[in-house]
Amino acid sequence: MPKICLDPGHAGGNIDPGSINSETGLQESTVNLAIASLVKEYLIAVGYQVLMTRTREEQVETDSLKYRCELANNWGADLVVSLHCNSATSEQANGTEIYTTLGETDGDRLATYIINQVTASFSDLELRADWDDGDPDKEENFYILRYTDAPAVLLEMAFISNPEEAAKLADSAWQRDMARAVARGISDYFV
Q: Could you tell me if 29 and 10 are in contact, meaning their C-beta atoms sit under 8 angstroms apart?
A: yes
Amino acid at 191: V
Q: Which residue is nearest to Zn ion (CB)?
A: 84
Q: Toward Zn ion, which CB reaches closer, 8 or 136?
A: 8
Shorter beta-carbon distance to Zn ion: residue 68 or 84: 84
Nearest approach, Cβ of residue 63 and Zn ion (Å): 13
CB of 29 to Zn ion, least distance (A): 8
Nearer to Zn ion, 44 or 93 (CB): 93
Shortest approach of Zn ion to residue 42 CB, angstroms? 22
Q: Between 78 and 148, name the residue whose CB sits nearer to Zn ion.
A: 148
> Closest Cα to residue 94, out of 122, 132, 121?
122
Q: How far is the CB of 154 from Zn ion (least distance, A)?
A: 9
Q: Is residue 12 within 8 Å of 57, Cβ to Cβ?
A: yes
In the complex, the residues that contact Zn ion under the rule CB under 5 A are: 9, 18, 84
